[in-house]
């Protein structure tokens, strides 16, 4: 995948480009740019202002930038517009294959809250029934990997379906009006599909494969400001530990920040895993499997070695 293809893959990133890259990689950090989506520990971190409380005494501001999915966040991070953010397993694989300036800073196993939905009255009752169907998902997202591995489980190939590449905000209406026959997605959209758009869970991702989400950092930011990055990871990790024990408050925080109704975020919060840790050998192996699978299918242009871009703090 050439640079021009990378830009095509992460279409819709004009807004991201509006955030100016860091003027200078060297010197004191005055502002940290955090990319987040509509669920997860970073939303809670924003609501509780834990990064602000930690960094304000150091004279460092925190800026929050919302993204609809991981791919545009990776593009923004690649050009230096975002320093740190959370994404699923697929976006960093596509980004690494395109030569993006990113590193894996921390990992988080996903135990629930993503999978494939079909309409409640659909004739699709098994994975095999997906053959010949139009499946909506965001290209280069974690849902992309869920689709690929789900098809493999039933002995189907990528060519056996019609992929319809849609962002989550576009895929929801398409699912509701029948333009797509199945939707691979994550929370809170997964919960929205279930509760508001007449969806039925065909399969949970955990039934198919181990999946992880990741906390990614801009490579130059990690190189030049490793101590700051470690503090961000530490604060994020502590917020995740708090969230594990306060799910009702988490749901309220998610609803307040994202505008997604409380009853939907309550579903997402109850089944989510908030535990964050280092990128272990097991996580690397799982992520390498994702990358190898995408290369085999021709979804990325060259093989990548995940371990090559795993950041290791000098403090550990």
Q: What is the CATH number of the domain that holds 154?
A: 3.40.190.10
Q: Is residue 316 part of a domain?
A: no
Host domain of residue 195: 114-207
| 42 & 65 share domain | yes
pTM for the full predicted model: 0.83
151 and 261, same domain (yes or no): no
Same domain, 224 and 88: yes
**Residue 33 shares a structural domain with residue 71:** yes
Sign, Cα dihedral of 73, 75, 80, 86: positive
Same domain, 98 and 43: yes
77 and 19 belong to one structural domain:
yes
Q: Of 143, 130, 103, whose CA–CA distance to 223 is shortest?
A: 103
In a domain, 285, yes or no: yes
Distances (CA, A) of 192 to 166, 168, 178: 16, 11, 16
Looking at residue 291, its pLDDT comes to: 96
Which of these three, 156, 180, 207, is where a domain ends? 207
Same domain flag for 216 and 253:
yes
Per the domain annotation, does 314 fall within a domain?
Answer: no
Q: Is the peptide bond before 112 cis (omega within 30 degrees of 0)?
A: no
> Of 174, 207, 240, which marks where a domain is finished?
207
- The label of the residue with tokens 């019609």 reads 162
Structure tokens belonging to residue 26: 């060297």
Distance separating alpha carbons of residues 51 and 28, to the nearest angstrom: 17
Question: What pLDDT score was predicted for residue 26?
Answer: 56
- Say if 315 falls within a structural domain: no
Distance CA 130, CA 250 (A): 35
What pLDDT does 11 receive?
41
Same domain, 124 and 88: no
Q: In the beta sheet, which residues pair with residue 106? A: 215
Last residue of a domain, one of 152, 179, 207: 207
Q: Please choose, from the candidates 220, 170, 231, 205, the residue with its C-alpha nearest in 3D space to the C-alpha of residue 286.
A: 205
Compute CA 72 distance to the chain's CA centroid, rounded to the nearest angstrom.
10
Three-state DSSP at 244 gives helix
Cα–chain center distance at 300 = 18
Residues 95 and 132 in one domain: no
Full pLDDT tens readout for the chain, 316 residues: 344 444 445 444 434 444 455 544 457 899 999 999 988 899 999 999 999 999 999 999 999 999 989 999 999 999 999 999 999 999 999 999 999 999 999 999 988 889 999 999 999 999 999 999 999 999 988 899 999 999 999 999 999 999 999 999 999 999 999 999 999 999 999 999 999 999 999 999 989 888 899 999 999 999 999 999 999 999 999 999 999 999 999 999 889 888 899 999 999 999 999 999 999 999 999 999 999 999 998 999 999 999 999 999 876 4
Question: For residue 197, is it within any domain?
Answer: yes
Residue 165 β-bridge partners: 137
Integer Cα distance of 234 and 104 in angstroms = 14
What pLDDT, on a 0 to 100 scale, did the predictor assign at position 12? 42
- Do 217 and 198 share a structural domain? no
Is 183 domain-assigned? yes
H helices within 114-218, ranges in order?
Answer: 142-153, 168-176, 189-195
Q: How many domains is the chain partitioned into structurally?
A: 2
Instruction: Give me the torsion for CA of 159, 140, 2, 25, rounded to 10°.
Output: -170
Q: How much is the pLDDT for 38?
A: 87
Are residues 188 and 43 both part of a single domain?
no
User: Are both 99 and 218 inside the same structural domain?
Assistant: yes
């Amino acid at each position: 995948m050439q640079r021009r293809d990378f830009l095509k893959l992460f279409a819709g990133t004009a807004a991201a480009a509006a955030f100016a890259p860091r003027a200078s990689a060297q010197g004191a950090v005055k502002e940290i740019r955090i990319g987040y989506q509509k669920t997860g520990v970073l939303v809670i971190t924003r609501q509780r202002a834990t990064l602000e409380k930690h960094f304000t005494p150091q004279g460092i501001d925190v800026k929050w930038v919302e993204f609809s999915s991981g791919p545009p966040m990776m593009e923004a991070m690649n050009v230096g517009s975002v320093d740190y953010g959370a994404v699923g397993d697929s976006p960093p694989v596509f980004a690494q294959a395109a030569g993006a300036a990113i590193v894996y800073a921390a990992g988080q196993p996903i135990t629930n809250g993503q999978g494939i939905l079909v309409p409640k009255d659909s004739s699709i009752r098994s994975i095999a029934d997906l053959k010949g169907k139009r499946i909506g998902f965001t290209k280069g997202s974690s849902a992309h990997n869920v689709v690929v591995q789900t098809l493999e489980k039933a002995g189907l190939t990528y060519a056996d379906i019609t992929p319809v590449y849609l962002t989550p905000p576009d895929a929801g209406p398409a699912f509701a009006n029948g333009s797509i026959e199945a939707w691979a997605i994550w929370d809170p959209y997964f919960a929205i599909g279930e509760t508001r758009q007449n969806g039925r869970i065909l399969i949970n991702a955990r039934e198919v494969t181990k999946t992880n989400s990741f906390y990614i950092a801009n490579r130059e930011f990690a190189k030049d400001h490793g101590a700051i990055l470690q503090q961000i990871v530490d604060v994020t990790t502590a917020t995740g530990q708090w969230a594990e024990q306060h799910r009702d408050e988490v749901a309220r925080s998610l609803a307040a920040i994202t505008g997604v109704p409380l009853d939907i975020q309550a579903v997402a919060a109850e089944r989510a895993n908030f535990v964050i840790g280092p990128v272990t050998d097991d996580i690397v192996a799982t992520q390498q499997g994702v990358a190898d699978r995408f290369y085999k299918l021709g979804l990325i242009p060259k093989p990548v070695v995940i371990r090559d871009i795993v950041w290791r703090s000098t403090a550990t």
